[in-house]
Amino acid sequence: MSHSPHPDIRGSPWFVESVTELTYHGVDIGLLEGGEDLVELILESTSDSLGLQDDDVLVVSSKVVSLAEERIVDLEGVPVSERAERIADVTGIDPREVELILRESTVLGVIPVAEIAPGRLESYAVSSEAAAEALESLPSLLVTNWNGRLCTNAGIDLSNSPAETATLLPADPNESARQLREEIRERSGTDVAVVIADTEVSHRGGSVDIAIGCAGIDPVDSSFGATDLFGNPKVGGVDLIADELAAGAALLSGQAAERTPVVVVRGLEYEPNGGIETDAELIRSGIWLTFKRTVQVKLAEYVPFRRS
């Protein structure tokens, strides 16, 4: 007779069994050119087959929010400074895009994408020719501080935009989410939460969608210290709920020509709050302590240390 190495925890006082069905529904709102009524498009596109329900979460691509808010810049009309020209010479980025990045953010560093991983990216490309063309158009990425958030190229996007135009991020993503939520409630009587998602580079060498703004939902699950299955306090539990929703929705919305920039998430139990905090305070308070402790650890590898 075999025995399980784990105890039967189902009768334990801390065990909670919960079954929840969480579904994602992609919404095609059509091709936006700028200045459209985004709320009306969402309500029209969901009215027949899906219909919005209270407590749904709408994950909306930052691109369509920017287009609706007319955060569009004609590249031909962008005067390029000498500073932008110098950075463009080093990075290979279009100097007009560099100029916009400098206007929108503070440049912290550069990722030479075409030099770091051309072979890796080619192995994931639809073809070697497509990979070469993509790397030629954007051989580097600038690491920037945009409104207190670390991102690449200040979130400026030249893809899925009309020719010779660039799309800037929404000026205040939390406010954009709040307005979308309030207008949906006013026009339809439905109380939903809104998460605005943007695509960012991951340390794993690809990209992932993250939340840059939200309203009506607490973006963080505050369960730090909650007990695990065996009654031990968890060090984890601070789950980034809004980011997880954005990443899940990206499986439907995609990054190319999928035309599903809005995803309705249904069945999630969440705390009604809102607002994505910036990275700035965490960076300011943590970077020095992190550096200090790292030096101490590296020294401890080689220097004897005796506790008093």
CATH number of the domain to which 178 belongs? 3.30.1330.100
* Residue where one domain finishes, among candidates 133, 168, 203: 168
Reply yes or no on whether the pLDDT at 58 is more than 90.
Answer: yes
Rounded to an integer, the average pLDDT of 34-55 is: 90
Rounded to an integer, the average pLDDT of 134-157 is: 86
55-64, 143-152, 235-244 — which is least confidently predicted?
235-244
pLDDT at 224: 59
Reply yes or no on whether the pLDDT at 105 is more than 50.
Answer: yes
Residues facing 58 on adjacent strands: 194, 264
| Residues 86 and 136 grouped into a single domain | yes
pLDDT at 282: 53
| Residues 230 and 212 grouped into a single domain | yes
Give the chain's domain count. Answer: 2
For the chain, the farthest-separated pair of C-alpha atoms sits apart, in whole angstroms, at 79
As given in the structure block, the two tokens for residue 51 are: 């219909």
Residue 229 lies in a domain: yes
The better pLDDT of the pair 235, 18 is held by 235
CB 150 within 8 A of CB 105: no
The gap between the terminal CA atoms of the chain, to the nearest Å, is 53
* Residue where one domain finishes, among candidates 128, 151, 168: 168
pLDDT at 15: 42
**Mean pLDDT over each residue of the chain, to the nearest integer:** 81
| Residues 88 and 64 grouped into a single domain | no
The better pLDDT of the pair 144, 224 is held by 144
| Residues 123 and 243 grouped into a single domain | no
| Residues 183 and 160 grouped into a single domain | no
Residue 11 lies in a domain: no
Rounded to an integer, the average pLDDT of 11-37 is: 75
Residue 300 lies in a domain: no
Expressed as residue numbers, the domain containing 91 is 72-168
| Residues 188 and 216 grouped into a single domain | yes
pTM of the model: 0.79
Cα four-point dihedral sign 124, 126, 129, 135: negative
Rounded to an integer, the average pLDDT of 136-152 is: 86
Residue 41 lies in a domain: yes
Residue 14 lies in a domain: no
pLDDT at 95: 94
* Residue where one domain finishes, among candidates 142, 168, 194: 168
CB 195 within 8 A of CB 213: yes
Reply yes or no on whether the pLDDT at 129 is more than 80.
Answer: no
pLDDT tens digit sequence for 281-301: 555 556 567 667 777 787 777
| Residues 253 and 140 grouped into a single domain | no
> SS3 string of the chain?
CCCCCCCCCCCCCCCCCCCCCCEEEEECCCCCCCCCCHHHHHHHHHHCCCCCCCCCEEEEEHHHHHHHCCCEEEHHHCCCCHHHHHHHHHHCCCHHHHHHHHHHCEEEEEECHHHHCHHHHHHHCCCHHHHHHHHHHCCCEEEEEECCEEEEHHHCECCCCCCCEEECCCCCHHHHHHHHHHHHHHHHCCCCEEEEEEEEECCCCCEEEEEEEEECCCCEEECCCCECCCCCECCCCEEEHHHHHHHHHHHHHCCCCCCCCEEEEECCCCCCCCCCCCCHHHHHHHHHHHHHHHHHHHHHCCCCCCCC
The better pLDDT of the pair 180, 130 is held by 180
| Residues 180 and 235 grouped into a single domain | yes
| Residues 204 and 271 grouped into a single domain | yes
Instruction: In whole angstroms, give the CA distance from residue 125 to residue 256.
Output: 13
What is the bridge-based pairing of β-strands 57-61 and 193-201?
parallel
pLDDT at 7: 47
Residue 44 lies in a domain: yes
pLDDT tens digit sequence for 71-89: 999 999 999 999 999 999 9
Show Cβ contacts of residue 94 under 8 Å, excluding neighbours closer than 6 positions.
Answer: 75, 88, 158
**Cα 9 versus chain centre, distance:** 37
Reply yes or no on whether the pLDDT at 10 is more than 60.
Answer: no
As given in the structure block, the two tokens for residue 79 are: 């005067």
| Residues 67 and 178 grouped into a single domain | yes
| Residues 181 and 221 grouped into a single domain | yes
Residue 244 lies in a domain: yes
Instruction: In whole angstroms, give the CA distance from residue 219 to residue 241.
Output: 5
Reply yes or no on whether the pLDDT at 185 is more than 50.
Answer: yes
Q: What are phi and psi of 146, to 5 degrees?
A: -110, 110
pLDDT tens digit sequence for 216-228: 998 887 665 666 6
As given in the structure block, the two tokens for residue 74 are: 């004609």
Residue 304 lies in a domain: no
